[in-house]
Amino acid sequence: MKFKGVIFDLDGVICFTDDLHYLAWKALADRLGIYFDRKINDRLRGVSRMESLDIVLERASRVYSAEEKIALATEKNATYVELLSKMRPSDVDDDVRRTLVELKEAGVKIAIGSSSKNARIILRQTGLEQTFDAISDGNNISRSKPDPEVFLKAADMLGLSSCDCLVVEDALSGIEAGKAGGFSTAGIGPAANFPLTDYALSTLSDLLPLVFFSH
Ligand code: B16
Ligand code: MG
């Protein structure tokens, strides 16, 4: 076995909440009279909530105080959590489920390493809450990706060192975080072709031979 553990980013790897983030940020931006579109939303991928708000406010006509920003982030999150309540187990692809089952059956430890403070809600809605051996998310870190903290904590929860784990990511900040922590990285979607990405995946199950066989 080449890797004893696999640490998965959540949004953009296990499931897709980009559209729900978009709708929630768009509702906030519309209320504030700030232009926001899907291209700007793409810049929020893998970025923390407060850093995302700063990007949304780049086009604002005035400066917002720290207190106002906390209130705006809370407002966006309330809309987002409401939208998450509509997520269902069918929102997770069969290929993703099969990949997780095969890893577990082979004795490979699996963890979540997500920036999201809503990771557990998403896992519950999609029926994956009991699937992972460890969940490291936005609630147990003090530094966001590209800092490696979220992945180092996940590896620690699994009882593994970073050189024994593969990090799977869809965002540049996540690939950078993985490399900074000493992990091998697999990129899917936009992250498949980043220079720091060790392995490009076109679908999640492409990681199975990487994990099971030495190269
Ligand atoms: P929340 P990941 C990230 O999740 C999302 O990609 C990013 O768009 C979001 O801003 C961030 O979580 C924080 O999410 O507002 O729910 O705490 O890709 O690291 O699983
Ligand atoms: Mg992601």
Task: Residue 42: give the domain boundaries.
Answer: 18-84
Report which of 26, 84, 86 is spatially closest to residue 56, judged by C-alpha positions.
26
Q: How far apart are CA 84 and CA 138, in angstroms?
A: 16
User: What's the pTM value of the predicted model, to 2 decimals?
Assistant: 0.95
User: Looking at 9, 19, 94, 156, which residue is catalytic?
Assistant: 9
37: helix, coil or strand?
coil
Backbone angles phi, psi at 37, to 5 degrees: -140, 180
CA distance 7 to 194: 18
pLDDT of residue 186: 98
- One-letter identity of residue 153: K
| pLDDT given for residue 74 in this prediction | 98
Q: How far is the CA of 205 from the centre of ligand 1 (A)?
A: 23
For ligand 2, a single-atom ion, which residues have Cβ within 5 Å?
Answer: 9, 11-12, 46, 170-171
Quote the number of domains for the chain: 2
- Regarding beta strands 184-188 and 165-169, do their DSSP bridges make them parallel or antiparallel, or are they unpaired? parallel
The low-confidence residues of the chain, meaning pLDDT below 70, are: 214-215
Same domain as 100, residue 75: no
Do 115 and 67 fall within a single domain?
no
The verdict on whether 18 is a catalytic residue reads no
What per-residue confidence (pLDDT) applies to 158? 98
Q: What pLDDT was estimated at residue 215?
A: 55
| Cα dihedral: 39, 45, 49, 53 (round 10) | -20
Of 84, 110, 142, the domain-final residue: 84
What is the pLDDT of the chain when averaged over all its residues?
96
Same domain, 10 and 26: no
